[in-house]
Homo-oligomer: A and B are copies of this chain.
């Protein structure tokens, strides 16, 4: 028996495009004499469809794709993810299903039992969990067909869940496991995912075909890396990361295999390599799926906008990324020089636009109101907002999407100007801590200087008042980022942080900054998610709360 994995990138709600892509893969699999071709979770509509699932029109369109796939299923079995209607009145209206389609009909529907409802996931908002499980029989093989999270409660050891679908399915003596997923990227998640797949094989002692989605859906990036593991636990193949691919595997060698440690020498994944590729895909898909080609951003001379520009130029093509330098009298000379060098290295179109006249015009306009007040953060913010207006004007006039250049550390503590440097359609590095911004720049420079060394080494500054430095307002990024990581990713509270040895006063100051700046993050653009806990849909906080603040 031959099984094809179609690791594909879908467009949410673009049913015609998704159907065409799936159908083409079916044809390709047929031409390679596959018996079964498997697609990711919710492939027909794209994952996550979110509240579109509340529209009957939307779920009807999913069913129409299933109908069309029936007609494509002569001579091949198609396993594809789609919402299906729950026939029982009680409970949610839908299941998150894997359709098994062959010979022109739906032979089996496997429903997902473990519905992730944490972080970015809202599955119990839409889906009823499955309570019954049975294997699919096809061409003499019994298949344990599951969906994503269903294999993440191995032996009931995941404290979130009470059911382990594979423990039930294994009693029906399946020949192999087939799991269709939409498992999102985080720099530490691909390794975790491989361990989970391997642990299932170790427990059930049958091969696993693991099909993951690829592609970015606004902020969430799916990284692919589909897996084929034989019953001895050898990794037969790991499909590419961050790319579509269709590959066909002969099943027989997966059975009665012998453990061969040499086969597990998969290349180790480097954190910066993964983040780099995730961000490129995130940018490309945001633009591609919205039908845009060109980006604009403000280049300050600092490291964040430099990194964002380098990533955007690589993702979209240098000629499509327009870099605008907008110095003021507080900008240092090297800011423009460094920016010009960067633009030259990358080959991007650029412009130099002074904000001084407009800034002065605002001060003059507000003179009657501001009379007798001191220059403070207000005037700093005006500069950032003048830049925002200029960038948005160019964006509106010529059809660019503005890229936001804030990093995760400053987004966390609110070190940024709402409607100024916090503006944009997409935040490229909003889930990358400042310390990782440095590391990522070094990584991009690994084959030669792309980002000028001076941009990387000079002390970070917003340059909104004379001789300003980030370190005037913030602790060293090494310490700041470690505290932020423990608080945001690891959900450690003040007592735990102090017990770790961090200074109490500093801990309380930082946690207060994070919590009181929730209102700013509420209005920031979507941030490409590369960690296990990004700001945005995966982290939901009250604005008017008063906790640690």
Interface residues of A (CB under 8 A from B): 11-14, 17, 46, 48-52, 54-58, 89-93, 117-118, 122, 124-125, 156, 159-162, 216-218, 285-286, 289-290, 351, 353-355, 357-358, 360-362, 364-366, 368-370, 373, 376-378, 381-382, 385-386, 388-390, 392-394, 396-397, 418-419, 423, 425, 491, 493-496, 519, 522-526, 537, 539-549
Contact = CB atoms under 8 A, between A and B. Distances in A.
Contact of A519 (B58, B93, B378, B425): B425
Given A51-B539, A373-B397, A382-B393, 19 more contacts: A11-B545, A12-B542, A13-B546, A13-B548, A14-B545, A54-B491, A89-B159, A117-B124, A217-B542, A351-B369, A353-B369, A358-B362, A358-B365, A382-B389, A385-B388, A385-B392, A388-B419, A392-B418, A523-B523
B12 A495 contact: no
B496 A547 contact: no
Nearest to A359: B361
A520 to B, nearest CB: 10
A544 B285 contact: yes
Nearest to A539: B51
A256 to B, nearest CB: 35
A40 B365 CA distance: 50
Nearest to A57: B493
Contact of A378 (B156, B373, B382, B397): B397
B57 A496 contact: yes
B11 A546 contact: yes
A124 to B, nearest CB: 5
A248 to B, nearest CB: 30
- Which of A58, A362, A394: most chain B CB closer than 10 A? A362
A50 B541 contact: yes
A373 B354 CA distance: 21
Shortest beta-carbon contacts, A-B, top 6: A13-B547, A57-B493, A12-B545, A289-B544, A361-B361, A14-B546
Contact of A90 (B156, B388, B545): B156
A442 to B, nearest CB: 31
A89 B396 CA distance: 53
Contact of A541 (B51, B355, B545): B51
Contacts of A354: 365
Given A162-B91, A386-B389, A546-B13, A524 B526 contact: no
A491 B53 CA distance: 10
